[in-house]
Structures are given as structure tokens and as C-alpha cells.
Amino acid sequence: MQIKANHLTYTYMKNTPFETNAIDKLDLMIPGEQFTSIIGHTGSGKSTLVQHFNGLLKPTDGSIKIGEWTVKSDTKQKLLYPLRRHVGMVFQFPEHQLFHETILADVAYGPMNFGFSKEEAEKVAKECLANVGIDDQLFDRSPFDVSGGQMRRVAIAGVLALDPELLILDEPTAGLDPEGQEMMMKLFHDWYEEREERSIILVTHQMEDAARYSDEVIVMDGGNVIDRGTPRQIFAKKAELEKIGLTVPESVQLLEALQAHSESELNTSAFTLEDTVESILSFLHKKGRD
Amino acid sequence: MTNDIHVDHLYFRYHEQAPYVLHDISLTVKQGEWLTILGHNGSGKSTLARFFNALHVPKEGKVISCGIDTKHANEWVNIRRQVAMVFQNPDNQIVAPTVEDDVAFGLENAGIPYEEMHERVYRSIERLGLRGLETQEPHRLSGGQKQRVALAGALALRPKVIVLDEATSMLDPTGRIEVLSMVEKLRKEENITIITITHDVTEAMLADRIIVLHEGSMAYEGTPDEILSDENALRKVGLRAPFIVQMANELKRQQVPLPNGVLSHEELVTSLCKLKPIT
Amino acid sequence: MFDNVIIGQYVPRNSLVHKIDPRAKLLAILLFIIFLFISRHPVVLSLAIVITGTTFILAKIPFRYYIKGMRFIAILIFFTFLLHLFMTREGTVIVDWPWLTVYSGGVVEGSLIALRLFLLVLMASLLTLTTTPIDLTDGMERLMKPLKRIRVPTHELALMMSIALRFIPTLLGETSKIVKAQMARGANFSEGSLWKRLKSLIPILIPLFVQSFKRAEDLAIAMEARGYGGGEGRTKFRQLRWKRNDSIAIGVFVMFALLTIVFGFIE
Ligand SMILES: Nc1ncnc2c1ncn2[C@@H]1O[C@H](COP(=O)(O)OP(=O)(O)O)[C@@H](O)[C@H]1O
Ligand SMILES: Nc1ncnc2c1ncn2[C@@H]1O[C@H](COP(=O)(O)OP(=O)(O)O)[C@@H](O)[C@H]1O
Ligand SMILES: [Mg+2]
Ligand SMILES: [Mg+2]
């Protein structure tokens, strides 16, 4: 689903002494069917921006177009409901949204809001729960009665159950242990790969994830987009990123340190273990040739 | 009086019928050392930590904190003044509506006279780099600032030990660095024993010694060099080795003759540059 | 969603009014309200206006701040005015339509009550706008201290209030987050029958309750870890010092009270 922001501005607590311009006259186009990451320092406006993508926030000024929907400051709430069927959103600590008596009913809540019958909704819910790795023995348990990692997966199943075209992830792995983070990112990536028309927009502080999974990385600072490009292009700009409080993935840090220390050219844009090893090996080979 | 913490054959479960959350834990935390307790979510880290300052008291086994057996109820307040704790969720541990009031909270509880309290509060605020935020309301602070407020409140009590129970896990990278650099500073300048609890292996590198907890038992114990370079052992307990360790191991597998125990970027880079070229 | 909740919010400024001891402010307001509602003498009322106006100016709170916070109150005051206007049957008839009769007494009564309410609300919001909630709590705790002798748990009450103040913004943020999360799952809070709308609140109230419970538990543990053990033997970080300006402020309001009594006799 394509997104197009036109002079988008969002102001919190307008007309009070605490007024904050979180997004400032932003122009942005994000193509559909791709994996996009948004990075930026805390407070740079990432969450505020992505909440416009499914109509949770309406622009204070300017407009935003998501697929065929256009949202302006005076757009009626009512018109935004169908949009949310197509754009799913996973917040930070999504397990805080669980409320139903059973896990199955909680996941079926979304589809039922959009007019599915109970049977249909539960069928979808079961599929989604299986996809996120929740055993069917747990379906009738209370969502508050399972481990923290499982709670989060149930909450995510509740969002996937809407079968959105675009999935927005706002720091979805915060607070998980390394294994949990790895599994969670894999789950999202598998979901994304499953169908051609699906897109993901990931807000993250983990540069490694942004580098590994995205087609495009968008850099935000002070309520505006200041740079965008492929992970390769963005993470080649270590100094610029550091200036706005960001880092490059650890693999890039290592390769750049090696490059600086050995004073020889090497490929520094490697984001996986394999690529990094390969880059180092070719560095060692080259050393042999020189 | 010794300022060590001794845990001796500790077993614990939350209810009579529930499974044991801690199995036969025995350990000693030496005065002035930095100990990290590493383990995945649910491995029992927080439960164990709460024995150090008598928030839990052993039914089976024994815990002696700073020379005092924690089973004596009348010593609990005293123990908690010596073993301070910073918790995971920055929002759920600040009690008072402003920074300075919160830093003072522990001192008020201890009945410290006003003049001294005033001095200690502002000294702590200064030490944690919170000058200018004295009268700020907690909800206007960043995550890193909130945890520094919690640290300031702990420091004001002049404790012998500070326990940080995943104090950085809900913070962004900047906040994490902010808090950890403060902890390093406090340990160096105030000679406070530090116990950090985490599942972040990069954070564990800062420690003198690491204990790995897995399903309520002590799985491994050793220096960061020993623990963090064992990729398989870590994977077995649901953790991941630091990126550098993974890299070094992979390179070794590819016949690159690296020394053992490479943990930091600098070490790896200098080792690589020293190597004979591959032909 | 809660962006515009500003009633009861403190606005930091470096003003005379901000610096007055909270005990003095509380006592002054108490005096002011009691005597404002006792007297209807024009001199007393004018004096009340002057006092309110002066405090208002001294407090240095930007004007637009009030307008926003007062909008709802203004409607309330206006209704009270209308109520008195139509209900009072004294004085001469000034409007006499078949379906409506307004007496001059109605105009007087209505205006009087509107003026009093207006001054009261203005003073009350000045109190909260210029005093940090924690100072207010502190002031109240100290003024209530004598009640401790009849076993009113003043320390616990004050602590409860201060914790509530600390957590209100956090809970508002939490609520807004949960509302958004459920809306993202298609929740609709503004359509359907009343019953349906009430039911649609369950997905918000339950997570909110669960979260608050978790928070309370965490907080209790954190307090215990910091050696909290009730009010006994506790010292206080916040010291209130009575200054000359506080006496002057109270003096002004005592004068106001005295004048009210004097004019009461003259009448
Ligand atoms: N509910 C809110 N009320 C007032 N200000 C807010 C609110 N949410 C965010 N802000 C402010 O808006 C700016 C952008 O915040 P946010 O979009 O959350 O950034 P990010 O997600 O990049 O951390 C920040 O300055 C923040 O303080
Ligand atoms: N208050 C409690 N009541 C019952 N069980 C608990 C309680 N707190 C923790 N547990 C259980 O004890 C185990 C260890 O939890 P915890 O010490 O919090 O682990 P960690 O801090 O390593 O994530 C978990 O299985 C958890 O479910
Ligand atoms: Mg955010
Ligand atoms: Mg824990």
C-alpha cells in the first residue's frame, strides 16, 4: 500500500504552553510492497508519524494519502474504520492491549469488529495463533495466564487476524530477550514474504534489524525525514547518523574500524554474520596479494 | 562488618504446590565487585535479586546481606538501606511527583534530619547529572533520566550495594548508555558493589564476574571472557553470544588463526591486522 | 485525546502568588469563599473583584490558559444564571411574554450568583495553577495535622494523594495508548446503542485495570525496597517556611472578611 504525506504537520496540546510540533511540514512517499524501516532518536516523531498511517491521528495540517484513503484534519472518524482493516498496527508492548477471557476470543476480537461471524473470526484466529507459534492447548486459557513472550505473540496474532495489507510495527521487540527478539523479527519477515502485496513499516532502535530486513531505511530527526535510502546507502554514513544520536549496525562498526586501522579499502556494508565474515576474508586475501 | 552477600543453598517457590523457581543457589558477592546475573526472561533473575535486600526471605536456605541474616524481620529496613535496588520499569518506581522529592523518599523513610537530607539529595542529583531537573515532574523525563532519578534515590542512601534489575531493558540505546556509564562511574568513585541483572550480553561484558541462571539453577559462573566466548553454552540457555564472539568463532571455523577470548572490537581488529595475509 | 485536560494543572512562573506558602493560600481561599457567599453588599463584591483581579495579575499566568480551561465552567455558570433569572419572582416585571416572565429580582439574583461562581472558580483555578500539586498536598497535610489526634490518618491520606498526583499523567498516557491499540483493531466507541457503547469500553477498562494493578504492585515493592514503613519516625524533605509575604496575604483576606462582617451590620 502506498503512502503519501503532503505537508503533514502534527501538533500535540495545541494552544497550551506545552504545545509540541511532533511532525513538521513533512513530505514523504513510501512505495507499497516493500519492507521499510524508520529510524530516529527518541522524540524524533516516528510514533506520531506512523499513527497517521492507519488514521489513529489526523494531521493538524496538511494531508496524508494511504492507498485510496485521504486523511485531513477534518476527515470524519467514521471514514477511517475501513482503513484500519487494511493497515494493522503493533504498538510497543502490545501485550498491554489484551483483555478477553480466552486467548482465542482476544484474537477474534478484531475480525468480529469488522463484521466477521463468531465462527469465521475464530477460524481466522486459530490460523493466526498457529502462525505465531501458540499451541492449541492454550486457546482456552486466559491471556493473562501465559508467559510474557507468549502474551506478546497472542497480541500480535490479534493484529494479524485482520489480514492487513500493510503492517506497522512500532518497536515491537522492546523488552524481549535476544532469542525472543530474533524469533519475533523472523515471524514478521515470514509474514511479509508470504504474499506479494504485503508491506511492513518497522520503527526500530535496532540498527541490525533495520539493516537486515529492509528494502529502504528512512531517517527521522526533529519531526522531519532527513535522509532515506537502501540500508547500504544509509549505514555508510556513520558520522551523519552519530550526529543525530544514532549508530550503525555492529558489523559495520567492526568493518569500519578494521578499515581505519589497516588503512586499506574493504566492503563495509555487510549486515549479516556471513557477509561480514566474507568481507573480512577478502580483506585478508587482498592483504596477501598486495 | 563484612559487606559481602552470601547466598547458601537457596530454594524458592511462590506457592506450596508451584514448581521451584530457584534451585539450590549458592553464591557470594564480594564487596566492590561487579557481578552480572545473566539469563533469559523467566529464568528467575528477579526472584533471586529480591533475596539480596530481604524483599523475599528464604524458607529453605540462607541469605546473609552485609553481615545480617535476612530472616530477622527487624533488620529488613536496615538491610534495604545498605542494599539499594533499581527496577526494570522506569514508570513504576518513582513515587513522588518531582525529581527532588523522589530522591529524598528513601531518606525521609530513614528519618534523616532535614539539613543532612537536603545536602545528600542535591549531592546525589549532582552526581547523576540531573542538575536543572530538580523540580521536574517524572512523566516529562526520558526513560534514561527516570532511571537516573532512581539511581540518585539509591545513591542518596549511601548503600554498600546497588542491584539493578534489568534497569536498562526498557530504555532506548541512548538511555542505556546514559545509565550504564553512571553505574560505572559510581562503582569507580564510590566503591559500591554492583549487581546488574540482564539478558543483554554487551552489558554483561562490563562485569567482573557473570552468573548464568537457567530455569532457576546456576548454569555457569565465570569471568566475561570465559562465559561470553562460549557460543554454544549460551545458546543452550536461550542467550546469544556477543556479535564479536560470533564473528571470531566463525572466522576461526574458516581457518583464520585468531587467539581465544576475543571480546571487543579493538581486540578483533588488532588481531586481524597482526595476522599473516592469506594467500 | 486527553491533550486538552488542563484544569488543575500547575503552570510554573516566577510570581509573587507562586511563592506564597500553600497553607496561606488554602486559608485565604477558604476565607474568601465563605465571606463571598455571606455578603451581597456592593462594596464587598467590588472588593472581591479587586482582590481576584489583583491576584490574577500578580500570578502572571497567560490569559489564554484560562479561556480554554474555563469554557466548560462558563456554560455551567450561564445555566445557573438562567435558572435564577427565570425562577426568581421578586421586584418589578421587566419582561412579560405569555410564556416567559422575568422579574428585576431575577436579573439581580442571576447576576449575583454568576459573579460569585465566576470569582470562586477563578480563585480556585488560580490556586491550582500557581501551586504545585505536591505543595497543595503538603499544605493540606499540615493544616489537617490537628486531626491526627482524633486518629485521622493524615500522613497516609497525603501520601495517597501525592501518589495519585504522580500517576495521573502516566495513567492518562496509558489510557490513550490502549484506546489507540483497540481502535487499530477496529473498535468503535461512538456508534450504536448506549448499551453497545458501554460494552465497547470493556476492552479499554480491563487492560487499564490490569496495568494499574501491575503498577500498584511494582510501586509497593519499590517503596518497600526503599525502606518505607509508614509515617512513624519519618522526616520530611519539604519544609514550609512562613514568610512575611504570607502574613501580608492572609492579612488582606482577613481584612476582607472583617469588612464583610462590618457591612453585614450596616445593612
Ligand atoms: N501524547 C503526547 N502529548 C504531548 N506530546 C507528545 C505526545 N506524544 C509525543 N509527544 C511529543 O512529540 C514528539 C515526538 O514524539 P514521538 O512521535 O513519540 O517520537 P518517537 O516515536 O520518535 O520517539 C516528542 O517531542 C514528544 O515529546
Ligand atoms: N509473583 C509471582 N507469583 C508467581 N510466580 C511468579 C511470580 N513472579 C515470578 N514468577 C514466576 O517465577 C519465574 C521466574 O520469574 P522471574 O524471577 O521474574 O524471572 P526473570 O526476572 O528472570 O525474568 C517465572 O516462571 C515466573 O512466572
Ligand atoms: Mg515512539
Ligand atoms: Mg525480571
> Rounded mean pLDDT of B141-146?
96
Q: What CATH class is the domain B5-241? A: alpha beta
Residue C169 Cα to ligand 4 midpoint, Å, equals: 26
**What is the distance between the alpha carbons of residues A106 and A97, in angstroms, rounded to a whole number?**
9
Range with lowest mean pLDDT among A6-10, B40-44, C88-92: C88-92
Is the per-residue pLDDT at C4 higher than 50?
Answer: no
Within 13 Å, how many C-alpha atoms sit on residue C228's CB side?
Answer: 20
Least confident span in A40-54, B24-38, C101-115: C101-115
pLDDT at C8: 57
**Contacts made by residues B225-230, CB under 8 angstroms, sequence distance 24+:** B225/B261, B225/B263, B227/B38, B228/B201, B228/B204, B228/B263, B229/B260, B229/B261, B229/B262, B229/B263
Q: Which whole number is the average pLDDT over B25-31? A: 96
Give contacts of C 196-235 with B, CB under 8 A: 214-215, 218-219, 221-229, 233-235
Interface of C with A in 200-229 (CB under 8 A): 202-204, 206-207, 210-211
Q: What is the pLDDT of residue C136?
A: 87
Q: Is the CB of A43 under 6 A from ligand 1?
A: yes
pLDDT given for residue C92 in this prediction:
83
Q: What is the mean pLDDT of residues B249-255?
A: 92
By C-alpha distance, the chain B residue nearest A204 is B172
% chain A with pLDDT above 90:
89
Q: Which residues contact B247 (CB under 8 A, 6 or more apart)?
A: A251, A254, A273, A276, A277, A280, B268
| pLDDT number for residue A44 | 96
| The residue type at B213 | L
**pLDDT for the residue numbered C6:** 46
Q: Is the CB of residue B88 less than 8 Å from the CB of residue B171?
A: no
CA atoms within 13 A on the CB side of C6: 22
B68, three cell numbers: 545480617
SS (H, E, C) B225-272: HHHHCCHHHHHHCCCCCCHHHHHHHHHHHCCCCCCCCCCCHHHHHHHH
Residue limits of CATH 3.40.50.300 in chain A: 3-248
Those residues with Cβ within 8 angstroms of residue A251's Cβ, 6 or more apart along the chain or in another chain: A208, A211, A270, A271, A272, A273, A275, A276, B243, B247
- Interface B–C counts its CB contacts (< 8 A) at 96
Predicted pLDDT of residue B86: 97
Q: What is the pLDDT of residue A77?
A: 87
CB atoms A84 and C186 under 8 Å: yes
Percent of chain B scored above 70 by pLDDT? 99
Residue C39: band (very low, low, confident or very high) from pLDDT cuts 50, 70, 90: confident
Q: Would you say the CB of residue A260 lies under 6 angstroms from ligand 1?
A: no
B199 lines ligand 2 (CB under 6 A): no
Please report, for chain B, the start and end positions of each structural domain, with discontinuous segments joined by +. 5-241
Check CB contact under 8 Å for A14 and C202: no
Q: Average the pLDDT over each of B111-125, C86-100, C178-192, C197-211 and give the range with the smallest value.
A: C86-100
pLDDT band per the 50, 70, 90 thresholds, residue C69: low
- Select the residue of B98, B108, B111 nearest C134 (Cβ to Cβ): B98
Query: B77 and C227 in contact by Cβ < 8 A?
Result: yes
Quote the pLDDT of residue A10. 97
Mean pLDDT in residue range C31-55 = 89
pLDDT tens digit string along C93-125? 887 887 778 888 888 888 998 999 989 888 888
Say if C191 is an interface residue toward chain A (CB within 8 Å). yes
Chain C nearest-CA distance from B194, in A, is: 16
The mean pLDDT of A226-244, rounded to a whole number, is 96
Distances (CA, A) of C233 to B16, B112, B154, B155, C236: 37, 9, 20, 21, 10
What is the distance in A from the centroid of ligand 1 to the CA of A57? Answer: 12
Residue A101 CA, ligand 4 centroid: distance in Å: 26
Average pLDDT over residues A237-250: 95
Are residues C234 and B106, on separate chains, in Cβ contact within 8 Å?
A: no
Tell me the whole-structure pTM to 2 decimals.
0.89
ipTM: 0.93
Give the residue, by CA position, lying nearest to ligand 1 atom 26: A43
Residues of chain A neighbouring B171 (CB-CB closer than 8 A): none
Q: Chains with 3 or more CB pairs closer than 8 angstroms to C?
A: A, B
- B196-218: per-residue pLDDT in tens? 999 999 999 999 999 999 999 99
Domain boundaries A3-248, corresponding CATH code: 3.40.50.300
Tell me the pLDDT tens digit for each residue of B64-102.
999 999 999 999 999 999 999 999 999 999 999 899 999
Which ligand approaches the C-alpha of residue B44 most closely?
Answer: 2
pLDDT score, position C190: 79
pLDDT in tens, C158-186: 888 889 888 988 999 999 999 999 999 99
User: Residue C3 pLDDT more than 60?
Assistant: no
Record the cell numbers describing residue A175, joined without a space. 523488552
Q: Among A11, A48, A57, which residue has the most ligand 1 atoms within 8 Å of its CB, making it the best to mutate?
A: A48
Chain B closest-CA separation from residue C221 CA (Å): 8
- Show me where the domains of chain C are located: 2-266
Q: Is the pLDDT of residue B27 over 60?
A: yes
What average pLDDT is seen over chain A? 94
Q: Say if ligand 2 is within 6 A of residue B41 CB.
A: yes
pLDDT in tens, A113-154: 999 999 999 999 999 999 999 999 999 999 999 999 999 999
Amino acid identity of C36? L
**B173 — pLDDT class (breaks 50, 70, 90):** very high
